[in-house]
Structure 1
Amino acid sequence: MLKPEELAQKQLDAYNKQDIEAFISVYSEDVLVREFPSNKVMLSGMEEFKNRYAQLFINNPNQHAALNSRIVKDHIVIDHEHVTGRANGIEAEAVAIYEIVNDKIKHVWFVN
């Protein structure tokens, strides 16, 4: 059983390697990705989640997320990342909130 911060790191490492199978392995089958603070649903369920990220990896083969900081509180992990290598050339700051339920990432919020 991985600790919440280990799950977050495993998915970040897989994201940077663009290893879709390793990436999705830490997510729940009923994963839900939302915007914060609006709570608008961006992705729902593993099929949609996997398809979106597989396409993201194909479209952005040089994309990389560097971890700036991480906060862990019980079953919640908050990562602040600097994303580079996008096909459009735009660098971005990302803040992701992960909620771990039954040893998988079940809920994700991306801060606008």
Structure 2
Amino acid sequence: LLKRAQAESDGKTVETKKPINVKYGLNHVTYLIEQNKAQLVVIAHDVDPIELVVWLPALCRKMEIPYCIVKGKTRLGTIVHKKTAAVLCLTTVKNEDKMEFSRILEAIKANFNDKYEEYR
């Protein structure tokens, strides 16, 4: 950080790594799903009232975006430094993490997205 500040004071441009973007909030995540910008949607199981998020898996299936349901909205809240969060989504992933992320996506698709067809 000190080197970056010194370089900026000298008038040089410093390239920084692009951060992993985690977006939260029901309206914002819905917008990102509709725009096909979300790569993974994480939904809390204990949202009250449940009607707030009950339609979200159907939207994710329609837009072919992987989703998962996790235990506890407080766990999601700790990721975004809030008390609770009902829904999160990942929009970008670092290049060095893409292989591991693709493996996670395969497991999520098998356990959530594809299981819908079995129950239907």
TM-score normalised to structure 1 length = 0.25
Structure possessing the higher radius of gyration over alpha carbons? 2
Q: Which has the higher strand share?
A: 1
Q: Higher relative contact order by CA 8 Å / sep ≥ 6: 1 or 2? A: 2
Q: Hey, which of these two has a bigger chunk of helix by percent?
A: 2
